[in-house]
Amino acid sequence: MSSLAAKISSLQEELAAISLEETLGAEAVRKLKDPQGATSAKLLAHLEELKAQKGAARKKESASKQGSSGSSNVTYELMMKPDTAKLEEGEKVARMEKRLETLERALGADSEKMVP
């Protein structure tokens, strides 16, 4: 246990000797101490950048609409998903038929055995 404490203190002395703030800068050291905070700050900055780009695109789009003066073409897109409910129901029926077939093979498919 004492060797571990000695190792920790020697590592702390090495870190102090390196003087990371002078080498990397205070900002980099802060990011190393709190990586989640640095990541969230980076994400927030990226979101602000995207908002600014979107706002600029809207301004440009509205300016181009005003310049076209009345040619308002509307484009509709239709997105459809395949009917998964029918597929799932078919899969359930197939599984049940397979189970029934397995049971019939195990028990036998005599009509006398099927009547209670």
The residue among 33, 9, 10, 8 whose CA lies nearest residue 20 is 33
pLDDT tens by residue, 21-63: 777 777 777 777 776 777 788 888 888 888 888 888 777 777 6
Mean pLDDT across the chain, nearest whole number? Answer: 77
Tell me the C-alpha distance between 101 and 105, whole Å.
6
Pull the structure tokens for residue 23: 């080498």
Q: Where are the alpha helices (DSSP H) in 69-83?
A: none
